Amino acid sequence: MIRVEIERTTCSGFGTCMVIADSIFDLDDEGLVVLKRTLVDDGDLDAVRQAAYDCPTDSISYVEGVTDAA
């Protein structure tokens, strides 16, 4: 499992994360990133990595190898 983390205070609402992985990321009414899911399957790792890499404000991070919600 992968734990996805976002930093809304640095998000500028470009939406590249949502384009790359719309099953994980969304934009709220303020145009800032929100997570649809905090824990994602390992099969989504490439999309999560790409979203984090492409985020122009470095507002996305992730932790691989998570075994539970803690």
* Those residues with Cβ within 8 angstroms of residue 18's Cβ, 6 or more apart along the chain or in another chain: 25, 26, 27, 33
Inform me whether the pLDDT recorded for 64 exceeds 70: yes
* Domains in the chain: ranges and CATH: 2-64 (3.30.70.20)
pLDDT at position 12 is: 95
Percentage of residues of the chain with pLDDT beyond 90: 94
Q: pTM for the whole thing?
A: 0.89
* Percentage, residues of the chain above pLDDT 70: 96
Q: Given a cut of 90, is residue 69 above it in pLDDT?
A: no
Answer for the pair 58, 10: CB distance below 8 angstroms, yes or no: yes
Average pLDDT for 12-37: 96
